[in-house]
Amino acid sequence: MADAIGSLPPLDIVRAPEAGEIGPVQVSWRLALREFAENKLAVAGVVVLLFFVLFSFVGPLVYHGNVLHSDLSIANSPPVQGHPLGTDAEGFDVLGELMYGGQASLEIGFLAAIFAIAVGALWGAIAGLAGGLLDGFMMRIVDILLSIPFLFVVLIVSVRFGANVLSLSLIIGAFTWLVPARLVRGEVLTLRVRDFVSAARTAGATRWRLINRHLLPNALSVIIVNVTFNIADSILTVAYLGFLGFGLQYPNYDWGDLLNNGTNFMLDGYWWLIYPAGFCLIATVMACNLIGDGLRDALDVRMRRR
Partner 1 sequence: MPVTAYLIRRCGTAVVILIGISIFTYLLLHIVYPSPARSVLGPKASLAAINAWNRAHGFSGSVFQQYWTYVDGLLHGNLGYSFKLNQSVAALFGERWERSAYLSGVSLVLSVAIAIPLGIYQAVKRNSVGDHVATTLSFTFYAMPDYLLYLVAIQLFAIIWRVFGPEGSQSASMTGVVLDWRDMTLPIVCLTLLVLAGYSRYMRSAAMDTLAQDYIKAARAKGLPERLVLYRHLARNAMLPMITLVGLSIPALLAGNLICETTFNFPGLGLLFFNSLQNEDYPVLLAYTLIGAVLTVLGNLLADVSLTVADPRIRLT
- Is residue 155 part of the contact set for partner 1 (CB under 8 A)? yes
Least distance between partner 1 and beta carbon 33 (Å): 23
For partner 1, what does the binding mask look like between residues 51 and 90, x meaning CB under 8 A? ----------------------------------------
Least distance between partner 1 and beta carbon 113 (Å): 16
- Is residue 256 part of the contact set for partner 1 (CB under 8 A)? yes
Residue 91's identity, in one-letter code, is: G
- Is residue 144 part of the contact set for partner 1 (CB under 8 A)? yes
- Is residue 289 part of the contact set for partner 1 (CB under 8 A)? yes
- Is residue 236 part of the contact set for partner 1 (CB under 8 A)? yes
- Is residue 286 part of the contact set for partner 1 (CB under 8 A)? yes
Cα(270)–Cα(272) distance, integer angstroms: 6
- Is residue 282 part of the contact set for partner 1 (CB under 8 A)? yes
Residue in 20, 204, 245, 251 binding partner 1, rule: CB under 8 A: 245
Least distance between partner 1 and beta carbon 147 (Å): 4
Least distance between partner 1 and beta carbon 117 (Å): 20
